[in-house]
Structure 1
């Protein structure tokens, strides 16, 4: 599959595979590429302040170093277990 690189190409793909071209009550035209701290960037490189910050669960922002360290430590041990566990 060819790499999709622009906002408009991602919007076109989203309209083809997602109901209403997106999810929730958000603008289907905004497709984010990455986030660091309280900032997010769309596929065209435009920068925004992420006031929703994952609708609340990401109080420390995107890619916080201590959170990333803990996640990377846990990944090889497994992510979700039905049974009681020590996670």
Structure 2
């Protein structure tokens, strides 16, 4: 009877430990995924802001100096950057 109780307790402990480990792993994976998504979103936002700033600066410079711009040239430059 004592042996049976000990075995049952051990099995329950092992199951609890395994479940806890699995939960911890799942939580860690979720946290890593969230961090990766946040980093990607921040990078995209930074790139968009940089592009907008560059375009605004170009427009201001062009307006100031009355430079005539060829649209095809601008499109070519943008494509070459990608």
> Which TM-score bucket, shorter chain as reference?
under 0.3
Higher relative contact order (CA 8 A, sep 6+): 1
Relative to the length of structure 1, the TM-score reads 0.21
Look at both structures and tell me which one has the larger radius of gyration over its CA atoms: 2
Higher strand residue share? 1
Higher helix residue share? 2
